[in-house]
């Protein structure tokens, strides 16, 4: 019996190629999932920072002198409920107060997604002419 030259792949070669392809696709899918998680976390951190910055700006625009205490509240930008905590502290300069604002997405969370610290100056009396 003579053996003819065969064209094509053997079953073993096909199985090895498919196993290599399966491993590569699994790694690609896992990488895509991690990228989606990272993107979601960065979006949440950005929105939390906006909430904290907006709260600091609201305080400055109110032109009021807040009491030294801690306040809590909620905001709802981007159709999500954000929980903020603002602590007002005195400084060595009696015309300045230190404001710390922390924002969480989950009310019971131990860690905040954003933290903004700013100084607030005592409002000046309005000058009328």
Helix/strand/coil for 18: helix
Would you tell me how many other CB atoms lie within 10 Å of the CB of residue 9? 11
Tell me what the mean pLDDT of segment 50-78 comes to.
93
pLDDT band at 36 (very low <50, low <70, confident <90, very high): confident
pLDDT tens digits, 73-118: 999 988 899 999 999 999 999 999 999 999 999 888 888 999 999 9
CB of 67 closer than 8 Å to CB of 88: yes
pLDDT category at 2 given cuts 50, 70, 90 is low
State the pTM of this model.
0.72
What class, spelled out in words, does domain 10-119 have in CATH? alpha beta
Q: Assess whether pLDDT exceeds 80 at residue 21.
A: yes
Left (φ > 0), alpha (ψ -120 to 50) or beta: where does 30 sit?
alpha
């Amino acid at each position: 019996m003579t053996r003819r030259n065969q064209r094509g792949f053997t079953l073993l070669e096909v199985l090895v190629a498919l196993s290599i392809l399966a491993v590569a696709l699994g790694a690609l899918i896992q990488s895509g999932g991690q990228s989606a998680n990272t993107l979601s976390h960065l979006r949440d951190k950005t929105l939390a920072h906006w909430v904290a910055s907006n709260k600091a700006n609201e305080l400055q625009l109110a032109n009021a002198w807040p009491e030294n205490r801690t306040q809590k509240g909620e905001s709802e930008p981007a159709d999500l409920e954000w929980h903020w905590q603002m602590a007002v502290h005195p400084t060595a300069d009696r015309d300045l107060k230190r404001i710390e604002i922390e924002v969480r997405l989950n009310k019971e969370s131990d860690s905040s997604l954003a933290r903004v610290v700013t100084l607030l100056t005592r409002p000046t009396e309005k000058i009328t002419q």
